């Protein structure tokens, strides 16, 4: 059966409400509230140690929240009657017994919910492990281990997938494979929640982002929105006739700043318009560069003060500033 | 992407049931080489040492013209290998649990069975039945072949002699309970070295420590310790300093039940 469109998983949502996890006197996750929606890939982004894995373990009922709740399809994970059919998970540290073959690992998990051998062979083929399915998982490379983890996540054909750092340690081919797989699964209407500490990776897969730092929510925004929000919208211009050009450009909504003898920084006007003005006035340009912030820079900017070992915590301010964009 | 599967999500036919978790745990137990090696070692110890000890004793009796007194227990001689086999069975019980914690497999297991306790019951049941059947056969083999040795010295007994069949059964019961104690400690401690040290500390070291107690206290306590109590099931002649065979194995089972109950609380209450 081919699944297209979102009609198959109408209510597959992950909803965290005031989710908090305390280890001793350390708050690993602090009052997180967010919703992961179906039909798109949602990236779960944050520096190492931000609390991503802890949050994912709480979604799966492996760790008990100190406060707050998290539900899948409106139910606590522990209350799902057939969890593998509703939520598939790939956990960061490989959750595979090293002494068991890939096939037996999958057969054992499948048996808990009555999934048969046929489906096990299917997912083995789907993730490209057919040749090594009879080999013990202890000898697997990181990439093969990740593929086996994804195979277990797909066993029950779940409407929700939770993947903790799926591209970690993968070769370029494997990364591309996961990217396309996630997009395809989302296009089928599933809810996909993927964590990463790499913004560049998320920029290529996710269309929505939940960004956390030191356990707290920093942003819950669309990827486009985030770029726009943090983009500096500047054009860098260099010309020998800097004075003349700046006079020509200055006007309503346009700010021109001098940067040394030949340099200008223009905001409020895009590079095409600047180029046209210069050409009409016969001004030769040495450089004309749009300065759009990359997602990576955007991420660095919003998480700068929420790095685990940052010396000047400033998270409250960021949450205050970014929280309103949701 | 195309995925083939029955479309129903959370359908009643896909529910996690205790029976399905048992099937899963059975697949897990038989798909590890450590299971095969541990059980093989336990069988070899039980039967091999049973025969060896019986042969040595039979030779000794023949040379010195032994006449068995009322306290002579032929059955326990042939079942002596069980004392060694308990190491292998105990380690297997512990590893069945701690192997999942050390590899991270436990998180996949508990994500599949989020109510958690069905996993413990299934592991205990699958382990108990497997060990009981295999070690029951080993115990019988050890008895029959050991008694054949002793018979050559004129002191062997048959399965029909008083308490003999019970002692053979007792051997299987004792080993199964040792393993279940290991399963309980595995869930409680989650760490292989710690759980194995605790298990054999309870079985082997505790009696040695008890020997340091004043005599009156020692006499009151010793018979209730796990191994002195449990191994009474292997005997056919009752020593009044110890509990009877059924009472002994009963007390031993209480230790295993306590360990499993503590393991269950740990599994239910603590983060995986």
The closest CB to that of B114, out of A83, A104, A119, belongs to A83
Q: Which of residues 243-272 of A touch B (CB under 8 A)?
A: none
Position B112 scores a pLDDT of 96
Token couple for A252? 């309503």
Cβ neighbours for A272, distance < 8 A, ≥ 6 positions apart: none
Q: Is the pLDDT of residue A310 over 50?
A: no
- What is the average per-residue pLDDT within B97-106? 96
Confidence of residue A306 (pLDDT cuts 50, 70, 90): low
- What is the average per-residue pLDDT within B146-165? 94
Contact check, Cβ <8 Å, B1/A185: yes
State what percent of residues in chain A have pLDDT above 70: 84
B266 touches A: beta carbon within 8 Å? no
Each residue's pLDDT tens digit, A119-138: 999 999 999 999 999 999 99
Chain B residue whose CA is closest to A114: B14
Contact check, Cβ <8 Å, B16/A81: yes
Confidence of residue A294 (pLDDT cuts 50, 70, 90): low
Token couple for A177? 């494979």
Give the least confident one: A64-73, A165-174, A223-232, B234-243.
Answer: A223-232
Measured CA to CA, the distance from residue A175 to residue A167 in angstroms comes to 6
A253: region left, alpha or beta (phi > 0 left; psi from -120 to 50 alpha):
left
Nearest to A19 by CA among A73, A49, A55, A61: A55
- Mutate: best of B9, B15, B18, partner A, most A CBs <10 A: B9
Q: Is the pLDDT of residue B246 over 90?
A: yes
The DSSP element (H or E) to which A213 belongs, if any, is strand A208-213
Confidence of residue A210 (pLDDT cuts 50, 70, 90): very high
Measured CA to CA, the distance from residue B44 to residue B142 in angstroms comes to 10
- What is the average per-residue pLDDT within A99-118? 96
Mean pLDDT estimate for chain B: 93
Residue keyed to tokens 């401690």:
B189
- What is the average per-residue pLDDT within B134-142? 98
Measured CA to CA, the distance from residue A121 to residue A107 in angstroms comes to 9
Position B191 scores a pLDDT of 97
The closest CB to that of A1, out of B7, B28, B113, belongs to B7
The residue that leads in pLDDT, A322 or A201, is A201
Token couple for A21? 């996890």
Nearest to A219 by CA among A233, A232, A237, A206: A206
Each residue's pLDDT tens digit, A226-268: 776 666 667 889 998 888 888 888 887 888 888 888 888 888 8
Measured CA to CA, the distance from residue A172 to residue B163 in angstroms comes to 69
Looking at CA atoms only, how far is residue A132 from chain B in angstroms? Answer: 16
Q: Are A241 and A209 in contact (CB under 8 A)?
A: no
Measured CA to CA, the distance from residue A128 to residue A1 in angstroms comes to 20
Token couple for A118? 């046929």
Position A35 scores a pLDDT of 95
Q: Which of residues 10-29 of B touch A (CB under 8 A)?
A: 10-16, 20-21, 23-25, 27-28
Token couple for A286? 């040495």
Chain B CB contacts of A4 below 8 Å: none
- What is the average per-residue pLDDT within A272-292? 87
Q: How many residues are given for chain B?
A: 272
Measured CA to CA, the distance from residue A136 to residue B105 in angstroms comes to 14
Q: What angle do CA A176, A213, A73 make, to 5 degrees?
A: 70
Position A318 scores a pLDDT of 42
Burial of B63 (0-12, 13-18, 19+ CB in 10 A): exposed
Q: Is the pLDDT of residue A321 over 60?
A: no
Position A322 scores a pLDDT of 39
Measured CA to CA, the distance from residue A285 to residue B64 in angstroms comes to 115
CA atoms within 13 Å, Cβ hemisphere of A278: 24
A82 touches B: beta carbon within 8 Å? yes
Chain B CB contacts of A152 below 8 Å: 108
Position A93 scores a pLDDT of 66
The residue that leads in pLDDT, A90 or A253, is A90
Mean pLDDT estimate for chain A: 85
State what percent of residues in chain B have pLDDT above 70: 96
- Considering the entire predicted model, what is its pTM? 0.84
Looking at CA atoms only, how far is residue A114 from chain B in angstroms? Answer: 6
Measured CA to CA, the distance from residue B211 to residue B156 in angstroms comes to 33
Measured CA to CA, the distance from residue A132 to residue A266 in angstroms comes to 58
Looking at CA atoms only, how far is residue B188 from chain A in angstroms? Answer: 17
Position B6 scores a pLDDT of 39
Position A290 scores a pLDDT of 80
Contact check, Cβ <8 Å, A122/B24: no
Measured CA to CA, the distance from residue A245 to residue A238 in angstroms comes to 10
Give φ, ψ of B66 to 5 degrees: -75, 135
CA atoms within 13 Å, Cβ hemisphere of A85: 23
Distance from the Cα of residue A284 to its chain's centroid: 43
Chain B CB contacts of A157 below 8 Å: 3, 5
Chain A residue whose CA is closest to B103: A97
Position A289 scores a pLDDT of 85
Measured CA to CA, the distance from residue A103 to residue A132 in angstroms comes to 9
Give φ, ψ of B263 to 5 degrees: -65, -40
Give φ, ψ of B266 to 5 degrees: -60, -45
Each residue's pLDDT tens digit, B46-100: 999 999 999 999 999 999 888 888 889 999 999 999 999 999 999 999 999 999 9
Chain A CB contacts of B4 below 8 Å: 1, 119, 122
Q: Is the pLDDT of residue B115 over 70?
A: yes
Position A236 scores a pLDDT of 87
Identify the bridge partners of residue A67 per DSSP, sorted by sequence position.
A20
Contact check, Cβ <8 Å, A84/B13: no
Position A143 scores a pLDDT of 87
The DSSP element (H or E) to which A252 belongs, if any, is none
Confidence of residue A225 (pLDDT cuts 50, 70, 90): confident
Burial of A2 (0-12, 13-18, 19+ CB in 10 A): exposed
Contact check, Cβ <8 Å, A108/B31: yes
């Amino acid at each position: 059966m081919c699944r297209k469109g979102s009609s198959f998983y109408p209510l597959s949502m992950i909803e965290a409400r005031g989710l908090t996890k305390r280890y001793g006197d350390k708050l690993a996750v602090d009052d997180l509230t967010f919703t992961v929606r179906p039909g798109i890939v949602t990236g779960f982004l944050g520096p190492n140690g931000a609390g991503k894995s802890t949050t994912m373990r709480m979604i799966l009922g492996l760790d008990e929240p100190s406060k707050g709740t998290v539900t899948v399809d409106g139910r606590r994970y522990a209350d799902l009657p057939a969890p593998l059919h509703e939520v598939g998970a790939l956990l960061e540290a490989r959750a595979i017994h090293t002494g068991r073959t890939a096939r037996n690992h999958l057969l054992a998990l499948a048996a808990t919910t009555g999934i048969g051998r046929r489906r096990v062979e299917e997912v083995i083929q789907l993730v490209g492990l057919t040749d090594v399915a009879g080999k013990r998982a202890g000898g697997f490379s990181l990439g093969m281990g990740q593929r086996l983890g994804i195979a277990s996540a797909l066993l029950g054909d779940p409407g929700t997938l939770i993947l903790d750092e799926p591209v970690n340690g993968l070769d370029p081919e494997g990364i591309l494979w996961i990217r396309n797989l996630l997009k395809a699964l989302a296009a089928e209407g599933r809810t996909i929640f993927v964590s990463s500490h790499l913004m560049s990776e998320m920029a290529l897969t996710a269309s929505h982002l939940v960004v956390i730092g030191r356990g707290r929510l920093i942003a819950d925004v669309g990827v486009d929105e985030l770029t726009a929000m943090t983009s500096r919208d500047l054009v860098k211009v260099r010309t020998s006739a800097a004075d003349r050009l700046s006079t020509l450009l200055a006007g309503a909504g346009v700010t021109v700043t001098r940067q040394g003898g030949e340099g200008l920084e223009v905001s409020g006007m895009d590079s095409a318009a600047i180029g046209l003005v210069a050409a009409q006035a016969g001004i030769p340009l040495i450089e004309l560069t749009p300065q759009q912030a990359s997602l990576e820079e955007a991420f660095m900017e919003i998480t700068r003060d929420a790095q685990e070992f940052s010396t000047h915590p400033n998270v409250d301010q960021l949450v205050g500033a970014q929280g309103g964009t949701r | 992407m195309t995925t083939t599967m029955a479309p129903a999500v959370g359908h009643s036919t896909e529910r996690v049931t205790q029976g399905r978790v048992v099937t899963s745990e059975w697949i897990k137990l038989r798909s590890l080489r450590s299971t095969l090696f541990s059980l093989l070692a336990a069988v070899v110890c039980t039967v091999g040492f049973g025969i060896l000890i019986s042969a040595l004793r039979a030779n000794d009796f023949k040379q010195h013209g032994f006449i068995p007194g009322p306290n002579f227990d032929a059955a326990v001689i042939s079942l002596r290998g069980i004392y060694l086999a308990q190491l292998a069975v105990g380690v297997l019980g512990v590893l069945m649990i701690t192997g999942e914690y050390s590899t991270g497999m436990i998180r996949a297991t508990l994500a599949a069975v989020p109510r958690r306790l069905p996993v413990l019951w299934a592991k205990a049941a699958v382990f108990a039945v497997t060990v009981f059947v295999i070690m029951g056969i080993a115990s019988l083999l050890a008895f029959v072949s050991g008694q054949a040795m002793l018979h050559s010295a004129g002191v062997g007994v048959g399965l029909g002699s008083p308490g003999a069949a019970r002692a053979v059964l007792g051997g299987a019961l004792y080993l199964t309970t040792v393993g279940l104690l290991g399963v309980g400690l595995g869930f409680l401690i989650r760490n292989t070295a710690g759980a194995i040290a605790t298990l054999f500390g309870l079985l082997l070291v505790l009696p040695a420590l008890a020997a340091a107690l004043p005599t009156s206290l020692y006499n009151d306590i010793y018979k209730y310790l796990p191994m002195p109590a449990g191994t009474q099931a292997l005997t056919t002649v009752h020593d009044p300093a110890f509990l009877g065979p059924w009472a002994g194995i009963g007390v031993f089972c209480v230790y295993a039940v306590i360990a499993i109950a503590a393991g269950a609380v740990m599994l239910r209450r603590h983060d995986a």
